[in-house]
Amino acid sequence: MAGPVELTPELLGIGFTSQRTRNRMVDRLEKSGVRHPQVLEVMRTLPRHLFVDEALAHRAYEDTALPIGLGQTLSHPLTVARMSERLMSNTPQRVLEIGTGSGFQCAVLACLVPQVWSIERLAQLQKRARERLRRLGLHNVHLRHTDGQWGWPDKAPFDAILVTAAAPRIPQALLEQLAIGGQLLIPVGDDQKQSLWQVSRLEQGFEHQELDPVHFVPLKPGQSN
């Protein structure tokens, strides 16, 4: 677990990317019900503006999702904070993320848990994410370019699995890679309607709970350059 990153003057940001702007974002997260102190501190510290193109950096701390290219998005700050807070409910040690994307959610997880494995099907996005994570000194992350629906079986079981794209149904492979007592957070649905589901693995079987309505890009099969 890296803990909140220590920002160099180069990474601190100014104006719309300054610490004051991050503080205002976290104030809004608290007003929206986010309570986990570690999650709030990581969101306060992590330079979200580094995870979008420079032309969009001034919008990085707004209450919105932002495009990152190739039809993918950087999730709304509240979505990232809420999913991270739910994931931390059982203090996981080993977490699998499906959909590295920009690397921001991955970076948040790396600051909260000891070990993170993250899968991305788009090689260009994975390359950019790897560079950002290295720049921030987050070395407890392991990246793989493959189809996320397969998971990472040779590193299983995981205490938690977090999926950052909406699946039409919950992939069986991911359920099988949960440790006993572990949880899977996954958006399920299509372009018209999606819900966030939490699936907990029990000694015998699984417990499913439908949570909040959400909107994510679709979880696609295969891998691409």
pLDDT in tens, 122-141: 999 999 999 999 999 999 99
**Does 124 reside within a domain?**
yes
**Does 223 reside within a domain?**
no
CATH code of residue 81: 3.40.50.150
**Does 98 reside within a domain?**
yes
- For the cut 80, the answer to whether the pLDDT of residue 12 exceeds it is no
Q: pLDDT exceeding 90 applies to what percent of the chain? A: 89
Q: Measure CA of the first residue to CA of the last residue in the chain; give whole Å.
A: 30
How far apart are the C-alpha atoms of 100 and 79, rounded to whole Å?
15
Give the domain extent around 66.
9-213
Residue with token string 């290295």: 134
Structure tokens at 42: 């990581």
Number of domains forming the structure of the chain: 1
Residue numbers annotated as active site: 75
pLDDT in the model for residue 103: 98
Question: Judging by DSSP bridges, how do beta strands 66-69 and 178-189 pair with one another?
Answer: unpaired
pLDDT in the model for residue 223: 78
User: Residue 12: how many CA atoms within 13 Å on its side-chain side?
Assistant: 7
Confidence of residue 179 (pLDDT cuts 50, 70, 90): very high
Confidence of residue 10 (pLDDT cuts 50, 70, 90): low
pLDDT in the model for residue 7: 64
Q: What is the mean pLDDT of residues 66-86?
A: 96
pLDDT tens readout for residues 185-216: 999 999 899 999 999 999 999 999 999 999 99
Q: Are 125 and 68 in contact (CB under 8 A)?
A: yes
pLDDT in the model for residue 44: 96
